[in-house]
Structure 1
Amino acid sequence: MAASLFLPLLLPILFLLAVAEALPPPCSDAACGDQVVRYPFWLLNASTSDCGYPGLGLVCEANATPTLILPVKSHRYRVWNIEYDTHTVAVSDADADEPAAGCPRLHVNLTIDYTTSALRLTQSDSNITFLYNCSKNISWPSAWELSGCYGGYSGKRSYVLPDGGTGAEAYESECEEVVVAPVLGLYKEGMVGPPGTPAAGAVGEMVRAGFQLMYNAHSGQCGGCERSGGWCGYRHSQTDGGAMSFTCFCDGGPTADRCGRSKKVQKGVIIGVSAAAGLGVLAAAAILFIMRKRKKNEPRIESFLQKNGKLHPKRHTYADVKRMTKSFAVKLGQGGFGAVYKGNLSNGSQVAVKMLKDTKGDGEEFINEVVSISRTSHVNIVTLLGFCLEGSKRALIYEYMPNGSLERYAFSTSMSSENSLSWEKLFDIAIGIARGLEYLHRGCNTRIVHFDIKPHNILLDQYFCPKISDFGLAKLCLNKESAISIGGARGTIGYIAPEVFSKQFGTVSTKSDVYSYGMMVLEMVGARDKKVNADSESSSQYFPQWIYEHLDDYCISASEINGEITELVRKMIVVGLWCIQVIPTGRPTMTRVVEMLEGSTSNLELPPKVLLS
Structure 2
Amino acid sequence: MAKYCIGLLLLTIVVADIGLGAAQNECSESRYCRENGPPIRFPFRLKQRHPDYCGYPGFSVSCTSSNDTALELSIDSIPINFFVRNIDYKSQSIHIYDPNHCYEKLLLNIFYPSIPPFQLTNLYPYNCTLFNCSSLLELRYAFRISCLGDSKYQIYIIESADDIYDRSYVSCTKMYDLPGCPVKMYNQANDVQLKWSKPKCGACETKGDRCKFKNNNTRHETACLRKGVSIKAVVAGGTVGSSVLTLAIIALIYHVYSKDKKDRENQLRIEKFLEDYRAFKPSRYSYADIKKITDQFKDKLGEGAYGTVFKGKLSNDILVAVKILNNSKENGEEFVNEVSTMGRIHHVNVVRLVGYCADGFRRALVYEFLPNDSLQKYIASADQGKKYSLNWETMLDITLGIAKGIEYLHQGCDQRILHFDIKPHNVLLDHNFTPKISDFGLAKLCSKDQSLVSMTTARGTLGYIAPEVFSRNFGKVSYKSDVYSFGMLLLEMVGGRKNVDETTENADQVYYPEWIYNLLEDGDDLRIHIDDKGDARIAKKLAIVGLWCIQWHPGDRPSMKAVVQMLEGGNKLTMPPNPFASTGTKRMNVNMPAGNMKQDLEIIPE
Distance 2:572 2:346 in 1: 34
The question of whether the paired residues in 2 share the 8 Å contact of 1:376 and 1:444 is answered with yes
1:368-404 deviations in whole A, cap 9, x for unaligned?
1001111211000000010000111000000001011
Match 2:198 to one of 216, 219, 241 = 219
The Cα of 1:539 is off from its aligned counterpart by: 10
Question: For residues 209 and 380 of structure 2, what CA distance do their matches in structure 1 show?
Answer: 62
CA distance in 2, matches of 1:229, 1:473: 61
Say if 1:419 and 1:612 are closer, same or farther in 2 by CA, change over 3 A.
Answer: farther
Please give the secondary structure, in 2, of the residue aligned with 1:524.
helix
The Cα shift of 1:217 comes to: 4.4
Q: Is 2:341 the counterpart of 1:372? A: yes
Q: What is the rounded CA distance, in whole Å, between the counterparts of 1:394 and 1:561 in structure 2?
A: 47
Task: Give the aligned partner of residue 462 of structure 2.
Answer: 493
Could you say if the C-alpha distance between residues 556 and 486 of structure 1 is closer, same or farther in structure 2, counting changes exceeding 3 Å? Answer: closer
Change (3 A) 1:385 1:59: closer
Counterpart selection for 1:472 from 419, 436, 441: 441
Q: How many residues align?
A: 366
CA contact (8 A) 2:310 2:321 kept: yes
Displacement of 1:233 after TM fit?
5.3
State yes or no: 1:84 paired with 2:71: yes
1:148 maps to none
Match of residue 421 from structure 2? 452
Distance 1:573 1:471 in 2: 26
Residue 539 and residue 431 in structure 1: after superposition, are their counterparts in 2 closer, same or farther (change >3 A)?
A: farther
Whether 2:384 is the aligned partner of 1:415: answer yes
1:443 equivalent in alignment to 2:409: no
Q: How far apart, CA to CA, are the structure 1 residues paired with 2:458 and 2:533?
A: 42
Alignment partner, residue 358 of structure 1: 327
What residue number does 2:123 align with?
A: none
Q: 1:599 maps to which residue?
A: 569
Alignment of 1:3-22 (within 5 A): none
Equivalent pair of 2:381/2:387 in contact (CA under 8 Å): no
Paired residue secondary structure (2:572):
helix
Number of the residue aligned with 1:68: 52
Letter in 2 for 1:436: G
Counterpart in the other structure of 1:516: 485
User: How far apart, CA to CA, are the structure 2 residues paired with 1:503 and 1:372?
Assistant: 27
TM normalised by structure 2 equals 0.54
Following TM superposition, by how much is the alpha carbon of 1:563 offset from its aligned partner in structure 2, in angstroms? 2.4
Distance 1:397 1:579 in 2: 32
CA distance in 2: counterparts of 1:318 and 1:390, whole angstroms: 6
Kindly state the Cα deviation for residue 360 of structure 1 after the two structures are TM-superposed. 4.0
Deviations 1:215-253 (A, max 9, x none): x94423424456x59895579xxxxxxxx99459xxxxx
* Conserved 8 A contact 1:368-1:473: yes
Alignment partner of 1:329 is 2:279: no
Q: Which letter maps to 1:491?
A: G
Q: CA RMSD in A?
A: 4.2
Go from structure 1 to structure 2 and tell me whether the alpha carbon gap of 1:360 and 1:580 turns closer, same or farther (over 3 Å shift).
closer
Which deviates the most, 322-331 or 415-424? 415-424
Change (3 A) 1:569 1:28: same
Gaps spanning 5+ residues in structure 2: where? 1-27, 56-61, 80-115, 118-194, 214-221, 230-279, 500-505, 584-606
The residue that corresponds to 2:364 in the other structure is 395
Match of 1:459, SS?
Answer: strand
Deviations 1:348-383, CA, capped at 9 Å, x for gaps:
410000000125432221111001111211000000
The amino acid that maps onto 1:86 is: L
Give the TM-score of the pair, scaled to structure 1. 0.53
1:53 to 17, 36, 43: 43
Secondary structure of the structure 2 residue equivalent to 1:378: coil
Amino acid at match of 2:313: N
Q: Which residue of 2 aligns with 1:294?
A: none
Identify if the C-alpha distance between structure 1 residues 542 and 556 changes in structure 2 by more than 3 Å, giving closer, same or farther: closer
Q: Write the letter of the residue equivalent to 1:52.
A: F
The residue that corresponds to 2:216 in the other structure is: none
CA distance, structure 1, for counterparts of residue 497 and residue 390 of structure 2 = 8
The one-character-per-residue Cα deviations of 1:550-587 (angstroms, maximum 9, x if unpaired) are 12766465364622222111110001111111111111
Give the share of equivalent positions with the same residue, in percent. 44
1:412 CA displacement: 3.5
One-letter amino acid of the structure 2 residue matched with residue 68 of structure 1: D
Unaligned runs of 5+ in 1: 1-25, 43-50, 61-65, 72-78, 92-119, 122-215, 236-243, 249-253, 257-310, 531-536
Cα distance in structure 2, aligned partners of 1:586 and 1:525: 22
User: Rg: which structure is higher?
Assistant: 2
Give the deviation of 1:544 after TM superposition.
Answer: 1.3
- The DSSP-based 3-state class of the residue aligned with 1:385 is strand
Q: Is the 8 A contact 2:374 2:426 kept in 1?
A: yes
* Cα distance in structure 1, aligned partners of 2:580 and 2:304: 37
Aligned to 1:111: none
Deviations 1:521-559 (A, max 9, x none): 1011111799xxxxxx99932111111111276646536
Residue deviations 1:269-311 (CA, integer Å, cap 9, x gap):
xxxxxxxxxxxxxxxxxxxxxxxxxxxxxxxxxxxxxxxxxx9
The within-5 A match list for 1:20-419 is 28-30=30-32, 51-53=41-43, 56=45, 68=52, 84-86=71-73, 217-225=196-204, 232=210, 246=224, 313-346=282-315, 348-412=317-381, 414-419=383-388
Q: What is the DSSP-based 3-state SS (H/G/I as helix, E as strand, rest coil) of the residue aligned with 2:381?
A: coil
